[in-house]
Amino acid sequence: KAGVTQTPRYLIKTRGQQVTLSCSPISGHRSVSWYQQTPGQGLQFLFEYFSETQRNKGNFPGRFSGRQFSNSRSEMNVSTLELGDSALYLCASSLARRGVTNTGELFFGEGSRLTVL
Name the site residues for another protein (rule: CB under 8 A).
4, 31, 33, 35, 42-43, 45, 48, 50, 55-56, 58, 90, 92, 94, 96, 102-111, 113
Q: Say if residues 33 and 91 touch (Cβ distance below 8 Å).
A: yes
Question: For residues 75 and 6, what is the distance between their CA atoms, to the nearest angstrom?
Answer: 10
For the bound state, the minimum distance from the C-beta of residue 80 to another protein, rounded and expressed in Å, comes to 26
Which C-beta is closer to another protein: that of 81 or that of 89? 89
| 40, amino acid identity | G
Q: How far is the CB of 108 from another protein (least distance, A)?
A: 4
Bridge partners (DSSP) listed for residue 47: 34, 57
